[in-house]
């Protein structure tokens, strides 16, 4: 299963040029909200629970090595309001996720949006 | 058990005085008619912050006392180095956000008018806040708490909420603005139109700030939303 994933996984890390509000003084977040990235990979695990929904996503880095990212969306409550269903994502699914990476370099992403294999796109937080 | 009973009372009050169909249909309901007859504004409904910003003051710094500015810088540094969800923010350990931050979280909250109080039911951490509107004063020698003690009065169409008795374990906003246990928050709540709630906050904390300062947040009515259960500690093992 894992080997299959390694074969199947595609990767793209694209810096998305999205203008972001300028904060007055400090950024204050452990996530780099001003430099979102897009990852494509395969779901290893999906956890629909509070306080955050988690997707474990296997994606290749620019050297072709598979890395597992922890992608966190908002709470199930807020995501359900944004149209999510808990059965929407399951292990083995191909996904494209856009979000803010952890500033400290860990493979943790705060989800901004997710695109399913069928092209459907959902907000990752459920608020503006 | 006490907490469960209290929540039960609050929910019973909510069901009794504010049908879940909320504002659009509530204006035809008995409680809403009674509210209108009272001459006091009706803020019943589920409200949601229009623009989530991590800072209470998006464009400028508040008038810090030196220690307060140093604390904010330290928190910022820790945030930049920490793993997300294990940083210095107390809410990452499911500590309640306190006042006024509870209103700023990107989760809805509901206002329910009861006979002698305004009840705010927050989805975030399933917190409940009571604002007593029966003319009582703040008790003396309050033991500081996360939600403090709130009393309210009406000035025309505005509800003026006065809160003290807050502990110093919370942040004023998700950015990390500090405060002391001398914090005194005054909120002026009014409807600028049917779907819009404006809250003007006055932050009075002479230990942390050299003078009082103000901030404003706007909330939108969500007639189709209901407050849902939110158990912060459900999945701490993942973090």
**pLDDT (tens digit per residue) in A24-59:** 333 457 899 899 999 999 999 999 988 889 999 999
Residues of A engaging B, defined by a Cβ cutoff of 8 Å: 21, 23-31, 47, 49-52, 54, 72, 74-75, 77-78, 81, 102-104, 106, 108, 110, 125-128
Give the pairing of strands B158-164 and B149-155.
Answer: antiparallel
What are the pLDDT digits (tens) for B171-186? Answer: 999 889 999 999 999 9
Phi, psi for residue B43 in degrees, rounded to 5 = -105, 15
Percentage of chain B lying above the pLDDT 90 cut: 68
This prediction has a pTM of: 0.82
Instruction: Name the helix (H) or strand (E) containing B72.
Output: helix B66-81
Q: Which of A40-44, B80-84, B119-123, B130-134 has the lowest mean pLDDT?
A: B80-84
Band of residue B37 on the pLDDT scale cut at 50, 70, 90: confident
pLDDT computed for residue B144 by the predictor = 97
Contacts of B43 (CB under 8 A, 6+ apart): B111, B113, B118, B159, B189, B191, B197
- Among A24, A29, A47, select the one facing B57 at the smallest CB separation: A24
- Between B130 and B59, residue with greater pLDDT: B130
Examine the pLDDT at B10 and tell me if it is beyond 80.
Answer: no
pLDDT at A93 over 70: yes
pLDDT band at B152 (very low <50, low <70, confident <90, very high): very high
B64: how many CB neighbours lie within 10 A of its CB?
18
Determine the residue among A25, A55, A69, A110 to mutate to test chain B binding: the one whose Cβ has the most chain B Cβ atoms within 10 Å.
Answer: A25
Interface test with B, best of A23, A28, A56 (most B CBs within 10 A): A28
Quick one: closest CA in A to B220, which residue?
Answer: A127
Least confident of A7-11, A76-80, B95-99: A7-11
Token digits for A88? 């929407």
pLDDT of B29 higher than 90? no
Considering chain B, what is the average pLDDT of its residues? 87
Out of A50, A126, A128, closest to residue B231 by CB:
A50
Q: How confident is the model at residue A5 (pLDDT cuts 50, 70, 90)?
A: low
The span from the CA of A33 to the CA of A126, in Å, is: 16
Confidence at residue A3, expressed as pLDDT on a 0 to 100 scale: 55
Mean pLDDT lowest for which of B85-89, B143-147, B190-194, B216-220? B85-89
CB–CB of A26 and B72 under 8 A?
yes
Residue-wise pLDDT for A95-118, tens only, equals 999 999 999 899 999 999 999 999
CA atoms within 13 A on the CB side of A22: 3
């Amino acid at each position: 299963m894992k080997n299959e994933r390694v074969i199947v996984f595609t990767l793209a890390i694209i810096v998305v040029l999205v203008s972001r509000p300028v904060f007055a003084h400090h950024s204050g977040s452990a996530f780099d909200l001003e430099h979102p990235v897009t990852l494509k990979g395969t779901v290893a695990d999906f956890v629909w629970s509070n306080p955050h929904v988690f997707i474990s996503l296997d994606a290749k880095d620019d050297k072709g090595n598979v890395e597992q990212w922890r992608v966190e969306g908002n709470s199930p409550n807020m995501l359900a309001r944004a149209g999510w269903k808990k059965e929407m994502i399951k292990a083995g699914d191909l996904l494209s996720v856009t979000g803010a990476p952890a500033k400290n370099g860990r493979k943790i992403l705060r989800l901004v949006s997710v695109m399913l294999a069928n092209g459907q796109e959902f907000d990752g937080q459920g608020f503006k | 058990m006490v907490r469960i009973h209290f929540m039960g009372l609050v929910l019973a009050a909510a069901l009794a005085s504010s049908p879940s169909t909320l504002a659009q249909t509530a204006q035809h309901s008995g409680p809403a008619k009674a509210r209108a007859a009272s001459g006091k504004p009706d803020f019943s409904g589920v409200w949601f912050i229009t623009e989530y910003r991590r800072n209470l003051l998006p464009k400028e710094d508040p008038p810090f006392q030196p220690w307060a500015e140093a604390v904010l810088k330290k928190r910022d540094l820790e945030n930049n180095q920490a793993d997300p969800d294990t940083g210095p923010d107390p809410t990452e350990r499911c500590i309640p956000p306190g006042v006024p931050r509870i209103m700023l979280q990107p989760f809805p909250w509901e206002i329910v008018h009861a006979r002698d109080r305004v009840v705010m039911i927050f989805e975030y951490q399933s917190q409940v806040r009571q604002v007593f509107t029966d003319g009582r004063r703040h008790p003396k020698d309050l033991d500081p708490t996360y939600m403090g003690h709130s009393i309210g009065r009406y000035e025309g169409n505005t509800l003026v909420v006065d809160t003290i008795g807050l502990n110093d374990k919370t942040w004023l906003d998700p950015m990390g603005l500090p405060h002391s246990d001398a914090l005194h928050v005054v909120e002026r709540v009014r409807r600028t139109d049917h779907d819009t709630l404006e809250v003007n906050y006055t932050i009075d904390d002479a230990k942390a700030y050299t003078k009082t300062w103000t901030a404003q947040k706007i909330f939108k009515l969500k007639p189709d939303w209901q407050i849902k259960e939110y158990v912060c500690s459900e999945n701490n093992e993942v973090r």
